[in-house]
Amino acid sequence: MTPTDRSRRKRVLVLFAHPAFEKSRVNRELTRAVTGLSGVTFHDLYEAYPDFDVDVRREQSQLVEHDVVVLQHPFYWYGTPPLLKQWIDLVLEHGWAYGKTGRALAGKFVFNAISCGGGERAYRPGGHNRFTIRQLLAPIEQTFTLCRTRYLAPFVVYGTHAIGEADLARHARHLASVVEAMRDGHFDFVRAASAEWMNRDLGDVLTGPAADALGEAR
């Protein structure tokens, strides 16, 4: 295992949006997995802006300082909780994030980390929800594509209504591995961009020591 060159490490920003976090079981585990990691900033939007009064300048300067942005949230009516949409509306300004001169986010990586009640089979053509999660996230994918970022497949925890402790713990561990692998450069961003969902097979996207660790865990 070679030590990662610090200067090449990517900085990861987790934008977390949950209007009733205190009642959440799954997201409590997922957030616990990604908080406190070195090189990872955890930003709880509903804690910072309970009145939806998003501080645009602060958010923009924080974005500029990171290379990877994780939008972590429960899947509400096939979309984000309202504060995250508010955040998108206000922070991704024309002339800053998009438009002719808007290049502040160019080259950054963005993906959603989602928990949803339905199972994997519900999210496919012919299933209960008729579309895959990736298809349903098209507006966000296009938003961030227009902002010149590279949008990756979502990290999904399916079937949260019936999930067991062991599965939940595994998902939390996997999310942490993904974030750490991205940070340390042990991650195949090209494959992650084309996957249906990122954690369908982590062996596909993790590389080097991260992949080895995953293999050992299995």
Partner 1 sequence: MPGDFFFQALIYLTAAVVSVPIAKRAGVGSVLGYLIAGIAIGPFVFGFIGDETEEVMHFAEFGVVMMLFLIGLELEPARVWRMRAPIIGLGGLQVAVTTLAIGGIGLALGCTWQAAIAVGLTLALSSTAIVLQTLKEKGLSSTAGGRSAFAVLLLQDIAVIPILAIFPLLGAAGVDDGSHGHTWVADLPGWGKTCAVLGAIVAIVVAGRFLVEPLFRLIASTGLREVFTATALLLVIATATLMTMVGVSPALGTFLAGVVLARSGYRHQLESDIEPFKGLLLGLFFIAVGASIDFELIASAPGTIFGLMGALIAVKFVILFVLGRVFRLGLDQNILFAVCLAQGGEFAFVLLALADRSGILGTSTSAMLLVVVALTMALAPILLLINEKLIQPHVGTRERGDRDPDAIDEANPVIIAGFGSFGNAAGRLLIANGIQTTVLDNDSDRVDLLRKLGLRVYYGDATRESLLHAAGAEHARLLILALGQEQNRSLLATVRKHYPHLQVLVRAHDRRDAYELIEAGVEHVYRGQFHSSVRLGIDALRMLGFRGHQAHRAAQTFIRHDEASLRELARMRHDQREYINAARQRIRDLEVLLRGNLRERDRSEDAGWDATTLRTEFKLNIPIERGGKLAPRPDEADDGDDNGDDPQSDSPPRGSERST
**Count of residues in contact with partner 1, rule CB under 8 A:** 16
Q: Which of 47, 65, 89, 201 binds partner 1 (CB under 8 A)?
A: 89
In sequence order, what DSSP letters do the residues of 95-161 get, joined into one string? Answer: TTTBSTT--TTTT-EEEEEEE-SS-GGGSSTTSTTSS-HHHHTHHHHHHHHHTT-EE-PPEEE--GG
Binding status of residue 58 toward partner 1 by CB under 8 A: no
| Burial (0-12, 13-18, 19+ Cβ within 10 Å), 142 | exposed
Q: Is residue 161 a contact point for partner 1 (CB under 8 A)?
A: no
Closest C-alpha to 113, from 199, 24, 46? 199
CA distance 195 to 171: 17
Question: Which of these, 55, 141, 69, lies nearest to 104 by C-alpha position?
Answer: 69
**Residue 56 binding partner 1, by CB under 8 A:** yes
90 binds partner 1 (CB under 8 A): yes
Question: Which region, judged by CB under 8 A, interacts with partner 1, from 17-25, 94-102, 120-128, 168-176?
Answer: 94-102
Choose, by CB under 8 A, the member of 6, 100, 161, 218 that binds partner 1.
100
**Of 84, 92, 157, 206, which one interacts with partner 1 (CB under 8 A)?**
92
Answer yes or no whether residue 215 interacts with partner 1 by CB under 8 A.
no
Helix axes 208-217, 165-184, angle to 10 degrees: 160
**String of contacts with partner 1 for each residue 16-55, x by CB under 8 A:** -----------------------------------x-x--
Which positions touch partner 1 (CB under 8 A)?
51, 53, 56, 89-96, 98-101, 146
